[in-house]
Structure formats: C-alpha cells, structure tokens
Structure 1
Amino acid sequence: MATDIASLDEGKIIPDHIAIIMDGNGRWAQAQGKGRVAGHKAGVSSVRAVVKGARQLGVKALTLFAFSSENWQRPEKEVSVLMDLFMFVLTKEVKRLHKHNIRFRVIGDLSRFSDKLQKSIKKSEELTILNDGLVLSIAANYGGRWDIANAAKMLASKVQKNEMSLEDIDENSLHKETCLADLPELDLLIRTGGDYRISNFLLWQAAYAEFYFTETLWPDFNEAQFDMALNAFNQRERRFGKTGEQVKQIEE
C-alpha cells in the first residue's frame, strides 16, 4: 500500500501506485477554436509534468489510460493522430524516460495495432526493462473487462493443460493473470475532464483505490493540479473493511 516518504514531501503519504484517466483533450481544443487533435498534442505536456512529479515524489508505479478499446469508434482522423502520437512517444520520449531510470510498458490487447507500432512498443519496453525506478504503464487498446476476461482465459488454459485444478482458482490466482499484477496495489485513481466514472479502466485493480475527480481538462493538468490530487488523497481514511477505530489503533 501507500508509503510514507515524508522526507520527500513534507509529511505527506505518497501513493505507491497512481492511475490517471486523461480526459478532456478534445474539449480543451474545441474551447480554443481548434480541432480535437490539437488537444491530444497539448496533452503530451501534461504527461511529462505528471511523470516528472511522480518520479520526484517516489511514486513506484504510474498507469495512464491513453486509448481504450472503445476509442476505435472515434473519428478516423482522431484515431490516426493518436496512433501518430503514440509512435512519437515511443521514438522520442522513451529515451528521456530511460535517462531517468523509468521503466516503460504498454498494457492492453496490442494485436490490433500495426506491426510497426507493435515492434516499436517491444523495442521501447526492452530498452527500459532493467530500469528500477518509476514503472510507467500506458494502457492502450485496453479495457477492464477485457483484462478480467483475459485472466480467466489464462486460468482456463492452465486447467485444460492440467497445470492447475478448478479448486486452485480463487481471487489470488486470477489476480496474478491480470495486467499490472506485479505492481503495488492501486492506491489512487484520478480522472480529469469533469466526468464521474471510470470508463472500464482497471476494474479489477480499482477495488480499494481512492477516486479523485476534477473538472480540469487534461492539457491543463499540471504539477500543481497533481499536488491537489495528492492532498485530497491524504484527507481520506483508508479502512479496507475495518472500522475507523480499528484503523486508528493500528496507526497508534
């Protein structure tokens, strides 16, 4: 769970694992009289700011929702720009991540991406695989229901191969087959853009996460906004099924 690294942030409890639904790019662009794709390009700066802030604070894992399995339904031009931005990040930004000891990975069903993009993803992951700092996971063509269904499929395959029995299947065994199973439990899920839903993102992982919703559109989400989310997180009492009194006794 979250780790207290007071020396880094004046006594704040810093979440081990933060996930962000980066929403509002299109509306940000439209409000400025620009095409929706301009918002996606502007949002790259916010990604840099959040990654920098997370790394400096000592966050262990940061997971960003870049492209959902439902986003293929968007206008073809917008999808094309998103794919181009993805390639840009893989060819340019990953070198910067590597320089700062950040491990980069992509989660989701990558089979729908072009061969070129899949090769670029693999190359970027291999470049940073030995880095032991922040783990930056990009969710692309990802859906929480897909994640759970895929984990169930993996377990079914093991049963079919007699590698495990039906009796061995429980929450723990299913968890091990989900994306991000090797990372700390999700502590904080942030959504920008004003909507109050998690849109099929990390359904399994968010079981006990704290949620933080903000009206701020993603291109305007900077390090100051990130700090506001962490301050809100610090106001929460995380009970995990216990009573408030039990939590206080443990803390004492």
Structure 2
Amino acid sequence: MPLNLPFINRRYPRQETASEIDKENIPKHIAIIMDGNGRWAKEKGLPRIAGHKEGMDVVKKVVRHASDLGIHVLTLYAFSTENWKRPKKEVDFLMKLPVDFLQTYLPELIEKNVRVQTIGTKDLLPKHTQSAVDEAISRTENNTGMVLNFALNYGSRHELVEVTKHLAAKVEQGEISSQDITEEMFEKNLYTSHLREPDLLIRTSGEQRLSNFLLWQLAYAEFWFTEVYWPSFNEETLEQAIVNYQNRKRRYGGV
C-alpha cells in the first residue's frame, strides 16, 4: 500500500512563488478540505459565521488561480453529511453561502470557462441552495475549462454504502454475478465516476485526517497539510502545496 507522508507547514510558512512551479507537472485534480473558519474567527474575536464568510471570499481567489494554473479539476469539501450536527443558525448560514457565491461569481466562472459540478446528496439541501447549484450547473455545462466540483452534503462512507447497495441489487436481479464486480465497476458507480482521481489533497488548519472525504478516490493521492486556516489561505499557499507535490516521486505501490 502507498505511504504518503504528510507535509506540514507552519501557520506563517515561507511562500513559494509561481516561478518555482513546473508548469509541465501541475496536479490535474486537487481536492481541498477547507478547515479552520471557526478558529480563524475565534482568534479575531468574531462570530463563527464571519469565518465562513471570509472563507467564501478565499474560494473565489483560489478557484481563479487554480484555473489560471491549468488545473483540470478542483474539488472543494464545502459541507459534509456530519455538518448537519452544527447549530441550526450556523447550518442555515452555510446553506446560504453557495447561493451568495454562485450568484455573485457565476458570470466570472462562465467567462473563465469553468464548469460547475457537485457530488453528494443534493436533494436533501434546502430548495434555495439546490436552485442556485442547479442554475450554475446548467449555465456552465458546456464550458470546457476547469471543473469546479463542490462536495455538498457529501460523506464518503454513505457514498460507498450506496454503491454497494446498487451493485447488490443488480446481483439479486440477476443482471450481474458477484464475480463480475471489479474495482473498475465499483468506480463507475461513484459520484466521481466522470472525474479522474485526485492527485493532491490539501487540508488546512493543521488537522491531519480525511473526515469522511473521498476515502476511495484518495487511495493514491499525495497529502499536504498546513496549519494555515482556510480564511488565510491564498494563491501563494496553493502554489506552495503544488511545489511540494512536484518534489515528490509517485510510485503507486511500485519501487
């Protein structure tokens, strides 16, 4: 099995510059666990929702820069199935953020040829959130640039269980036998079946866990952890993660 030792940088790391990036070795799919909004706000004496608002503004900058760097897919962990456990006021605010983001930023996404997609159980989101997401998906579906993939009401364990149920039902109905089930068949039934697997996972705020995020898809991804809170993440931090990724040798279980 692969051994991906995490790289951890400090809260205020040295910032690599774009000139250090090998443009021929850009990770094609980057997945980000955007963590630390609440702690960022607490350190500044602000309510947690202020951190979420600032974090949304960071998403705009990171999406723009990722697109300019030539990244093919950017998957952002925006709301997990476990996040419903948070206080209702905070959840309600989080459900408004995709609406605000897409309403204000959709014209630029269209201009930059970005295609919006989502993974997760979308039909359990509030109607206003669903409507904003559906509009963004519809209006960008013909774009051919970077895929901006939001994980909304997403939980990897739920995803894996649903795929298992789906394949088990096919076996019961005689459409396939259990011997027909392969890794390739399993992957074709994941939310991400239309996307390549992530090359690089970034998690902010110093936490070093996957938090039920893309457990299957990240099997051979490189991990990069930073103590920088998401509201303080910027274009330079993204570049630092990419430079670190480029200094690794990916073996995929080989020598």
TM-score by length of 2: 0.88
Alpha carbons 1:25, 1:40 under 8 Å: kept: yes
Correspondence for 1:216 among 217, 220, 228: 228
Matched, 1:27 2:39: yes
Alpha carbons 1:60, 1:135 under 8 Å: kept: yes
**In 1, Cα distance between equivalents of 2:235 and 2:187:** 32
Matched, 1:200 2:231: no
Q: CA deviation at 1:90?
A: 2.8
Match of 1:146?
158
CA 126–162 in structure 1, closer or farther in 2 if over 3 Å, else same = farther
User: 1:1-252 counterparts in 2 under 5 A?
Assistant: 9-11=21-23, 13-243=25-255
**In 1, Cα distance between equivalents of 2:23 and 2:131:** 43
Alpha carbons 1:8, 1:57 under 8 Å: kept: no
**Partner secondary structure for residue 63 of structure 2:** helix
Q: List 4+ stretches of structure 1 deviating above 6 A.
A: none
Q: CA deviation at 1:120?
A: 2.6
Q: What are the Cα deviations for residues 163-190 of structure 1, in whole angstroms up to 9, with x where unaligned?
A: 3332211111001111112112210000
Alpha carbons 1:22, 1:191 under 8 Å: kept: yes
Alignment-mate amino acid for residue 221 of structure 2: A
Alpha carbons 2:21, 2:239 under 8 Å: kept: no
**In 2, Cα distance between equivalents of 1:53 and 1:240:** 28
Q: CA deviation at 1:93?
A: 1.9
Structure 1 gap ranges (5+): 1-6, 244-252
Bigger relative CO (Cα 8 Å, ≥ 6 apart): 2
**Partner secondary structure for residue 14 of structure 1:** coil
**In 2, Cα distance between equivalents of 1:213 and 1:233:** 11
Alpha carbons 2:98, 2:132 under 8 Å: kept: no
Alignment-mate amino acid for residue 133 of structure 2: I
Comparing 157-166 with 206-215, greater Cα deviation is found at: 157-166
Alpha carbons 1:12, 1:234 under 8 Å: kept: no
Over the residues paired in the alignment, what is the CA RMSD in angstroms? 1.9
**In 2, Cα distance between equivalents of 1:189 and 1:168:** 31
Q: State the identity as a percent.
A: 46
Q: May I ask how many residue pairs the two structures share in their alignment? A: 238
